[in-house]
Structure 1
Amino acid sequence: MRVDVHTHYLPAAYRDLLREWGKEVRVEDRNGTPHAVYGDTARELAPGFRDLEARSEWMAEHDIDRTVASISNPSPHDETFTDAESVELVRAINDGFADAQAERPDEFAGFGTVPFRDPDAAVDEVDRIADLGLAGVAVPTAVRGRTLSDPAFEPIFDRIEDHGLPVFVHPTRNVLSEQFEPEEGGLDPTVVFPVDTTVQLTRLIFDGFFDRHDLDVIIAHMGGALPYLVGRLERGRERFRDDPDSSPEHSIYHYIESFYYDAISFHAPAVGAAIETVGDDHLLFGTDYPFNMEDAPATVADIDARAPTEEAAAAILGNTAIDVFGL
């Protein structure tokens, strides 16, 4: 069974709000096709972002049995929205994902999201995510320059932990993105996202976030450089801490090996290195569908080429995800 843990979907109610409000970050119809617009930059929303039938056809083409979807850009956390608007957008997302799950229960599962900019509302939304039966919670790597270990967010993660919900960490456009010209937009998914993931997850480890919270954490884009910098990070932990009792409590290997990672790399040796570092039982199949970076056959080929056994390949392609998400 193949389970794709990294796909994206924009529910109709969410798109309608973005279209209606017409803000700098919005959805706008151009030549009869919805586009995600960020100021002067626009990206066509491929059918898979908005059409469950198109998703089903793509799944059948690539022998994928189940997809787990999260929201993508446009992000409800963007500063263009007020706190109240962010809450409204988040609720539309979660209701839309629940509707999609109900419509295609054997094919679709959704990661809910929470309005970090209103922590009290976010705690309530975690309860709603659990009540809606969503697969887990998708979180950005940071929120408006604040790390996820910010004390204001602690009650949110306490509640996520109480419900036993998996957490999918996915980067968004950030301060690094602002260094590039519009024609360099391709550097966001290829370089900025994995770099930001590496930096922000490392900060969380050293902040002691994962000492305070026991969570099943799935990291997008094969964890950026985390599996490959683990030795260097551990050396830093050993050499640069003035107080041996300060965070983190454990070796960096302890944390890196506890996370789950999607296998989106497009480089078989990197997949092999990740398996050797974190184990084939902590790698999951993902594609980033329906973004144009998606290449399911290449990802499957990389897994088949580097998994040590057929059983390990089957675990990466779906069996581990079934256990993590209780599918």
Structure 2
Amino acid sequence: MSEQLMSARAARDRPVIDIHTHALPMPLLRQLERRGLADLSGMADHVLRLDPDLCGLAPGAAIPFPPEQYDLELRLASLESMGVTHQAVAAPPFVFASESPDASLVMDVTRRANDALAEFVAASSGRLVGLATVPVGLPDAAEELARCMDELGFAGATLGSYGAGRELDDPVNEDLWSALAERRCFTLLHPSRVSSRDRLADYHLVQLLGYPMETALAVSRLIFGGVLDRHDLVLCLTHGGGCVPGVAPRLDLGWHRKPVARVTERVPTEYLRRLFYDTAVFDTKTLARLVEDMTARHVLLGTDAPFDLRDQQPVATVRALGLEVSQEDAVLGGNAAALLRGLFPEVAGATVSGAGSPVPDLRARRRRSDIGAGLATLEIESTAVEGHGP
């Protein structure tokens, strides 16, 4: 089935691009192991352990470590099995060191991770493109972004939800936001810590519940902190935005009724409609609602591969929504191809919305008196995908 889907897409010159994937190349892990920051003894059991300052987990916590994280041949074979033609690859948040107080450690590991990832994707014959890790909370973040984009040839960036003891709306991040906006740099926001690790320690709740909550917190601070008023970011939220789509009406209510929260030009949901979201929500009805609320041109295919909590059949997931062909193509790859500029020139001018309009100029949209005006409601009959999700 996936081969047929790929053939049909290829016939229309439409790549299927997964924008939310991860890799941990072995050169990086060997360097960390030599410094006592990584334990690779569990590789045979597909388990990795990292220093708590790096991973943000409890000491000795087992991190899933499938070989597709570092074995390029297996990685490319996994693309075929999922019906994906290209992947944007980022380091996972376990090497962001978001809660480390040691700025020199954070910058050193970040640079090494970016160097290793650049080598990993360079050997993929164009099937993989890299997203640079930028360390929020540190004044050198914009400099590392420039190095990765200009020297290492990355396609975009990824960043965590917290860093160096600072929230995303802290003034220390202003230079980074300015640099990302000026470059029109596609940026994947990934949760990288949780606010109450002790309460989430059991049942894998850090990832299952803590991460979606963290995304909602991070984007709320970007909104109320005025970051999205000051900077026009090409920002994509992982896991379908986590909890924020569900709590968005409550944020609007607070903006209307609480003077302390009325600190932005517009209600929170108008900012949320400017952002992008991946499809990694693992439920057809939930994904259909996300597409309905944010429109097809703001949703991008994302799986969280190769972790166990991934969408194993992403093309089937999107096709189950019953979208129009142009909308389906947009979600599967057209949106990503237009945002990861210069990497897919054959579709760079392609339309990516059901209405046939290109990816919108967000700066022009921001000048409108009502950003949310005219958003079309998609009529979607959602159907469950049999055996969907991990």
Alignment partner, residue 18 of structure 1: 32
Alignment partner, residue 261 of structure 1: 277
Distance 1:78 1:235, change over 3 A: closer
**Equivalent position amino acid for 2:160 in 1:** P
Offset of 1:237 from its aligned partner? 0.9
State TM-score, norm by structure 1: 0.91
Tell me, in whole angstroms, the C-alpha distance in 2 between the residues paired with 1:80 and 1:227: 30
Residue by residue over 1:23-80, the C-alpha shift from the partner in whole angstroms, topping out at 9 and shown as x without a partner, is: 3xx2422365662335122234210111111110100112210011111143232445
Alignment partner, residue 30 of structure 1: 42
Alignment partner, residue 136 of structure 2: 116
SS in 2 for 1:64: coil
Gaps of 5+ in 2: 1-14, 53-58, 344-390
Tell me, in whole angstroms, the C-alpha distance in 2 between the residues paired with 1:249 and 1:147: 21
SS in 1 for 2:323: coil
Tell me, in whole angstroms, the C-alpha distance in 2 between the residues paired with 1:307 and 1:94: 38
Tell me, in whole angstroms, the C-alpha distance in 2 between the residues paired with 1:155 and 1:265: 32
SS in 2 for 1:68: strand
| Contact kept? 2:91, 2:117, Cα under 8 Å | no
Offset of 1:276 from its aligned partner? 1.0
Alignment partner, residue 349 of structure 2: none
Residue by residue over 1:188-224, the C-alpha shift from the partner in whole angstroms, topping out at 9 and shown as x without a partner, is: 2221110111122112101111001111001000001
Tell me, in whole angstroms, the C-alpha distance in 1 between the residues paired with 2:124 and 2:190: 24
Alignment partner, residue 119 of structure 2: 99
How many residue pairs match? The answer is: 319
Q: From the two aligned structures, give the one with the greater strand fraction.
A: 1
| Matching of residue 201 in structure 1 with residue 211 in structure 2 | no
Offset of 1:269 from its aligned partner? 1.0
Alignment partner, residue 208 of structure 2: 190
Alignment partner, residue 164 of structure 1: 184
Alignment partner, residue 9 of structure 1: 23
**Equivalent position amino acid for 1:291 in 2:** F
| Contact kept? 2:19, 2:88, Cα under 8 Å | yes
Tell me, in whole angstroms, the C-alpha distance in 1 between the residues paired with 2:242 and 2:43: 36
Tell me, in whole angstroms, the C-alpha distance in 2 between the residues paired with 1:163 and 1:194: 28
Tell me, in whole angstroms, the C-alpha distance in 1 between the residues paired with 2:221 and 2:64: 34
Alignment partner, residue 253 of structure 2: 235
SS in 2 for 1:142: coil
Gaps of 5+ in 1: none
Alignment partner, residue 356 of structure 2: none
Alignment partner, residue 126 of structure 1: 145
Distance 1:242 1:12, change over 3 A: closer
RMSD: 2.0
Tell me, in whole angstroms, the C-alpha distance in 1 between the residues paired with 2:34 and 2:98: 17
State TM-score, norm by structure 2: 0.77
Q: From the two aligned structures, give the one with the greater helix fraction.
A: 1
Alignment partner, residue 335 of structure 2: 320
Which gives a bigger RCO, structure 1 or 2 (Cα 8 Å, sep 6+)? 1
Q: Which moved more, 1:121-130 or 1:74-83?
A: 74-83
Tell me, in whole angstroms, the C-alpha distance in 2 between the residues paired with 1:99 and 1:160: 23
Tell me, in whole angstroms, the C-alpha distance in 1 between the residues paired with 2:306 and 2:35: 25
Tell me, in whole angstroms, the C-alpha distance in 2 between the residues paired with 1:254 and 1:117: 26
1:213 corresponds, among 222, 225, 231, to: 231
